[in-house]
Each structure stands twice: as C-alpha cells, then as structure tokens.
Amino acid sequence: MTAAPSIAVGYASESGNAETLARHLTQLLHDQFQQQLPSQTLSITCLSLDDLAAQVAHADILLLISSTYGAGDIPSNGGHFLSELKAKRLQVQEKQMAVLALGDRAYDSFCQAGRDLYRLLAEQGAHVLVPLFEADTSFQPTYNQWLSRLLPRLGLAVPEKLLAFSKTYSAREPFLATLTHQHRLTSATADKDVRHYVLNISGAGIHYQAGDSIGVMPVNSRQRVEEVLAAAGLQGNEYCRRADGHDGPIAELLSRYIELTTPGQTMLQWLAEVTGAEWLQALLHPSQVQALCQFQFTADLAEVLRRVSGQVDPLQLLARQSGLLPRYYSLSASPLSHPDELHLTVATLSYSKQGATVQGTASGWLASLPLGSKVPVFLQPSPLFRLPEDPERDVIMIGPGTGIAPFRAFLHEREQLQAGGRNWLFFGERHRASHYLYQADLLRWQLRKELTRLDLAFSRDQAESVYVQHLLLQHAAEVFAWLENGACLYVCGDKTRMAADVDRALRQVLVEGGMSVADAGRYLLRLRMEKRYLRDVY
Ligand SMILES: Cc1cc2nc3c(=O)[nH]c(=O)nc-3n(C[C@H](O)[C@H](O)[C@H](O)COP(=O)(O)OP(=O)(O)OC[C@H]3O[C@@H](n4cnc5c(N)ncnc54)[C@H](O)[C@@H]3O)c2cc1C
Ligand SMILES: NC(=O)c1ccc[n+]([C@@H]2O[C@H](COP(=O)([O-])OP(=O)(O)OC[C@H]3O[C@@H](n4cnc5c(N)ncnc54)[C@H](OP(=O)(O)O)[C@@H]3O)[C@@H](O)[C@H]2O)c1
Ligand SMILES: Cc1cc2nc3c(=O)[nH]c(=O)nc-3n(C[C@H](O)[C@H](O)[C@H](O)COP(=O)(O)O)c2cc1C
C-alpha cells in the first residue's frame, strides 16, 4: 500500500447546505479512491472549519466549502478558522486547496466568506487545485461543475452520475403555501402588533424540524411601488432588465424583485460615480461606515430617487438597486404536532417617517393578507439549533418577544415525544395584560408539567425595566445546577441588545457558582463546542 495524500474537507455552514455538500464530497472521495486507487491508504476527514483549524497541519489538501451570512460574514462554525487564517496562525503554505463558495446573488456581498478564504489561502502560499467556484442559491449544478474540475486534479475520474438532488424550494423557486389562519397575539389595544400565522403546505414535501426557520418572499405594497414610480418619474410600463437577471415592466419588478426600503451599497456606489455628487462620495468614504449605515437605515429608495432626480436614468438606478430579499421566521410549531402546517410568530414592524406610518415589507404584507392568500416560502433549516438527541436531557430556553417562536415548537416536540427531560422557559414582553404571547399554551404545558419552570419578565409593568437576564441572575444557583446537570441552553430573539446582555448574565451566573471570570468564559465556550449553548438571534 502507498500512502495517499491526507485530505481535509472543511465546511462553514449556517443552514446546512455547505455541510451537506462537504459530507457528500467526503463520501464520494472515499468511494472513488477505493474503486480507482485501491492500493492507496486513505486519510479523509470532514470537519467544520472551526474544528479543522487545529488539524490543518496534518492535511496535505484542503477542500473548503463555505456559505456567507449577515453582511458578508462567515457562518458561526467558521469564524475561528477565518480569524486564525487572517492572523497567519494556520500553516497553509505548500498545501493544495480548492474553495467552493455558496451565496445568494441578491446580496451585495455575494459569496464574500468563500472569496476571503480563497484569497487568504492563496496569499499565504497554498497551491490552487482549481479556481474559486461561486454558487448562487441553486448551488447543485455549480457543485457538480466544481467536482468535474476537482476530481481529475486528485487523480480521480469523474463518475457519470454526480449529485442528483431532490427538488427543494428556494428564494427563486418558492412553494406557494396557503394562509389558513391568523390572529393577534397581543391585545387589540396593545402598542405592538404580534401575530400568529398558519400556512398550509400539504403536498409540498417540505420536511422541517423544530428549530428551523422559513424564508418568506414578500410582495411590496402597491402604495410604496407607486411612491417609487412617482419619485422616479416613471409610468410603470417601462421595460427594465436588472443585473440579477429579472426583467419586465418596471412596476412588476418593483413589486416583486426590488428592495424599496434600504438603499443598496452597490447602487449608491454606482450613483456616486455617475453623478459625482459630493454628499454621496462623502457618505461612501471608508471612514464613514457608521454614517452610511445610518443613511441606509433611515433613507429609502424613493428618497434617493428624489435626491438625484434629473441626474441619472432612473431605470439604470433601479436595475442596480438591491434585490428584494426573503425575510426569515422561526417556525413556532413542531411537525410532530402540526404536520402539513407552518406556524409563524411575527411582529408587525411599524415606524413613523416624515409624519407617515411605514410598515415592514414582509411583516406588513403578511398582516394585510386575507385568508386563502398564497405565500411564497422555502425551508431554511437550522441544523445548529436543535433539541438534544437525548430526550432525558434538560433544556433552558430564553426567548423574549418573538424569540419565543422556536420554543413553542420545542415544547410541542417534547410533548409529542413524551421527553423525560425538564423544560425551563424564560419569556419577556412589555405588559402581562396585553403582550403575554401564547399564554394559554404556556399555562396548559405548565399544568401538564411539560413546562417545569416558567419565568416571566414583563418589562413595563413596574417603574424599573425587568428583563429575562435579571430573572436568570435571580435564579443563578438553579440555572448553574441545571447546567452542571447537563442541560442545553437556547437563546432566541433580538441579537444586538438582548443576546449580548444574556451572554453577560450567564457569565455572572457562573461566577456566582464559584468560577473565575476566565473560567466562566471557558465554560461557555465548552458549552458551545458541546452544542449545549445554542443561539438563533436576529
Ligand atoms: C433566522 C431569523 C429568524 C427570524 N425569526 C423571526 C420571527 O420568528 N419573528 C419575527 O417577527 N421576526 C423574525 N426575524 C426577523 C424578520 O426576518 C424580519 O427581519 C422582520 O420581520 C422585519 O422584516 P420586514 O420586511 O417586515 O421589515 P423591513 O421592510 O425589512 O424593514 C426593516 C427596515 O426598516 C427600517 N426601519 C426599521 N425601523 C425603523 C425606524 N424606527 N426608523 C426608520 N427606519 C426603520 C430599516 O431600514 C430596517 O432595515 C427573523 C430573522 C432571522 C434572520
Ligand atoms: N435593534 C433594535 O433597536 C430593535 C428594537 C426593537 C426590536 N428589534 C427587533 O424587532 C423584532 C421584534 O422584536 P420583538 O418583538 O421580538 O421583541 P423585542 O423588541 O426584542 O422586545 C421583547 C422584550 O424584550 C425586552 N428587552 C428590551 N431590551 C432588552 C435587553 N437588552 N435584554 C432583554 N430584554 C430586552 C423588551 O422590553 P422593552 O421594550 O420594555 O425595553 C420586551 O419586553 C426583532 O427582530 C428585534 O430584533 C430591534
Ligand atoms: C440571513 C441570511 C444572510 C445571508 N447573507 C448572504 C450574504 O451576505 N452574501 C451571500 O452571498 N449570501 C448570503 N446568504 C445566502 C446563503 O449564503 C445561502 O443561502 C447558502 O446556500 C447557505 O448555505 P448554508 O446552508 O451552508 O449556510 C444569506 C442567507 C441568509 C439566510
């Protein structure tokens, strides 16, 4: 036997696409080597990029598949690898490498994480086996093309049948679910409109799990489309061909394919070049990142069109504006309790702007739909946000506001499975009387002892705000005991403020349990590595 080179297949994946491809590639390499080069001893590993970081030295060939999230970020199981690579702490020189980047062309920073990995590996002396391949949402054909180039470079023939994927729905090809039910979860007079929606998906073949989210492709309101047409001085029947391939009368593109709220950076950059406008050039200067974010948050497409009126062809501007992206919603029921249904818990975003009330594109659209309407959806799996495999394990769930959604699904699932583990929920909202989401469900689970503990933080029912993290600290000793007993801890909801505050509170819980600050940090890191501290935050 001769030794074949050692191959490491690494993935960074949030919703499982890159991981699925990495596992398929690993199996394919095993099979192909065994068939075609049986005299060689094999060493092929498949790991998340973060786990691979410690193993890089042992590999001769690095085959990496990474998606992109957020604003051009790498998924959470690749962040450590990327920062180590940036800091030049990984020995990649003289290794051979190939990178497949997964992304979505509707985003300004298309495939950014894969591009960063490829560039850094090449800059640090890794040899390119095949150039970078970039795949859009329908990534299967690109993956197969990548394999067709990659396998011969490894001395392997390309099998006749590559990966044949079963039909899956995507943002480009969604399934049309039917809205069968909706009701307000907050009272009619509450200062916040949170709703429960039920979509029927019979016959779709969508198999979801508790913890998954659903992507919804919204439709822009007629009023906002007309506002943009007026600002652009267009009738609506003018033909437009967009950079993302969509074409047709501009009114149709504006209602289905163009983002009307947030002005996209690519479009603003183009606008700065063609108009030479000083205010735009100042805004796009690298030192003005915060001002640009603020502008994108507060201005909308109609306003930009009005500001450059007469200076550019509005159709060219609209051809470059960001595409209308799907909005994601955590599923709030388990398929075991509600087969053929998707349950959503949606806060209708509403804010005032220049005296007018503006509603969120997707949340406002959903709230306006009559029963029986079709809603374009596709599954967004969250393989990193799952109940423990062992039903006897305890779970602690922290989900204020709409963050409660996946925990309703978890509780349905644990009820159906008659799981023996204890369930502890921390929920928070503004007022008990008007904002207690899913009160009846929670009380029923409490009565039936499915919900072992329920701690409620109604922030505005007293002079001082009370938040979920305050309750965590109040019950620090018990939280610590549950964690020491092997509990899994989940956080869902607001990313910017709540999730960071809860993380700080958890550290404090551990310190009160007798740990030093450094040990508390290591403890939480270990929980994350053991998939016992999981977050779904937005
Ligand atoms: C994985 C995941 C799961 C999610 N789960 C849920 C869930 O279960 N329930 C839920 O309700 N949401 C959830 N979300 C959030 C959801 O996807 C949408 O972001 C949310 O519904 C808003 O979308 P929209 O289209 O209604 O608003 P948009 O039209 O996208 O409006 C948002 C934009 O409005 C502007 N804006 C907002 N507030 C103001 C203001 N005060 N002043 C000026 N401008 C403002 C900003 O430009 C902002 O970017 C989740 C997100 C992710 C990523
Ligand atoms: N980034 C922002 O400024 C901002 C603000 C609001 C909502 N959002 C987004 O709006 C969507 C819907 O929000 P939501 O309805 O789910 O609920 P939410 O606005 O997050 O509110 C739910 C509960 O959490 C409380 N809360 C506020 N700050 C908190 C903190 N730092 N730690 C813990 N709890 C805190 C709120 O109290 P009080 O309201 O009394 O403070 C309320 O009782 C989400 O996408 C969320 O991310 C963002
Ligand atoms: C919230 C969110 C943000 C995303 N951001 C980007 C992005 O900035 N750039 C991009 O090219 N793709 C982006 N995507 C698309 C994903 O990269 C794409 O769906 C990919 O196939 C997901 O692969 P995964 O399941 O392995 O994570 C985003 C998807 C989601 C759900």
**The pLDDT of residue 427:** 98
Dist. CA 17 → ligand 3 center (Å): 10
Mutation test residue for ligand 1: of 297, 358, 496, 498, the one with most atoms within 8 Å of CB: 297
Q: Is 14 in the pocket of ligand 3 (CB under 6 A)?
A: yes
Identify which of 265, 239, 266, 269 has the alpha carbon closest to the alpha carbon of residue 251: 239
Does the pLDDT value for residue 71 go beyond 90? no
Going by CA atoms, what residue is nearest to atom 1 of ligand 1?
Answer: 328
For the record, the structure tokens of 444 come out as: 């029923």
Atom of ligand 2 nearest to the CA of 457: 43
Dist. CA 326 → ligand 2 center (Å): 21
Q: Report which DSSP code applies to 187.
A: -
Does the pLDDT value for residue 201 go beyond 60? yes
Distance CA 91, CA 155 (A): 24
Give the number of C-alpha atoms closer than 13 A to the C-alpha of residue 199, restricted to the C-beta side. 29
For the record, the structure tokens of 243 come out as: 């950079």
Mutation test residue for ligand 2: of 432, 494, 508, 537, the one with most atoms within 8 Å of CB: 494
pTM of the model: 0.84
**The pLDDT of residue 477:** 97
Dist. CA 289 → ligand 3 center (Å): 22
Q: Is 113 in the pocket of ligand 3 (CB under 6 A)?
A: no
Dist. CA 483 → ligand 3 center (Å): 32
Q: What is the pLDDT of residues 236-263, one digit of tens each?
A: 999 999 988 899 999 999 999 999 999 9
Dist. CA 503 → ligand 2 center (Å): 15
Which element (helix H / strand E) includes 375?
strand 374-380
Q: Is 350 in the pocket of ligand 1 (CB under 6 A)?
A: no
| Torsion angle, alpha carbons of 418, 424, 430, 433, to 10 | 60
Q: Is 379 in the pocket of ligand 3 (CB under 6 A)?
A: no
Query: Do 537 and 493 touch, CB atoms closer than 8 A?
Result: yes
Going by CA atoms, what residue is nearest to atom 22 of ligand 3?
Answer: 67
Q: How far is CA 452 from CA 134, 412, 423, 449, 510, in A?
A: 47, 14, 5, 6, 22
The contacts of residue 76 (CB under 8 Å, 6+ apart) are 14, 384
**The pLDDT of residue 3:** 65
Distance CA 468, CA 458 (A): 9
Q: How far apart are the first and last CA of the chain?
A: 52
**The pLDDT of residue 172:** 85
- DSSP, collapsed to helix, strand or coil, labels residue 45 as strand
Per-position DSSP letters for 322-354, written without gaps between them: PBPPPEEEEB-S-TTTSTTEEEEEEE--EEEET
Q: What is the 3-state secondary structure (H, E, C) of 523-534?
A: HHHHHHHCCCEE
Dist. CA 109 → ligand 3 center (Å): 10
Orientation angle between helical segments 476-484 and 500-512, nearest 10 degrees: 80
Atom of ligand 2 nearest to the CA of 460: 40
Identify which of 378, 327, 69 has the alpha carbon closest to the alpha carbon of residue 219: 327
User: Mean pLDDT, to the nearest integer, of 10-33?
Assistant: 93
Task: Indicate which ligand has the atom closest to the C-alpha of 296.
Answer: 1
Q: Is 349 in the pocket of ligand 1 (CB under 6 A)?
A: yes
Query: Do 142 and 135 touch, CB atoms closer than 8 A?
Result: yes
Give me the percent of the chain exceeding a pLDDT of 90. 86
Dist. CA 51 → ligand 2 center (Å): 33
Dist. CA 381 → ligand 3 center (Å): 12
Task: Indicate which ligand has the atom closest to the C-alpha of 328.
Answer: 1
Q: Is 468 in the pocket of ligand 2 (CB under 6 A)?
A: yes
**The pLDDT of residue 158:** 86
User: Mean pLDDT, to the nearest integer, of 461-467?
Assistant: 98
User: Mean pLDDT, to the nearest integer, of 509-536?
Assistant: 95
Query: Domains in the chain, ordered, with CATH?
Result: 2-153 (3.40.50.360), 175-217+326-380 (2.40.30.10), 222-320 (1.20.990.10), 395-537 (3.40.50.80)
Q: What is the pLDDT of residues 383-412, one digit of tens each?
A: 889 999 999 999 999 999 999 999 999 999
**The pLDDT of residue 105:** 86
Per-position DSSP letters for 271-324, written without gaps between them: HHHHH--HHHHHHTSGGGHHHHHHHHHH--HHHHHHHTTTTS-HHHHHHHSPBP
Q: Which residue has the tokens 């689970």?
A: 445
Query: Do 472 and 479 touch, CB atoms closer than 8 A?
Result: yes
Task: Indicate which ligand has the atom closest to the C-alpha of 330.
Answer: 1
Q: What is the pLDDT of residues 81-117, one digit of tens each?
A: 999 999 999 999 999 999 999 999 888 899 999 999 9
pLDDT averaged over every residue in the chain: 94
Q: What is the pLDDT of residues 45-62, one digit of tens each?
A: 999 999 999 999 999 999
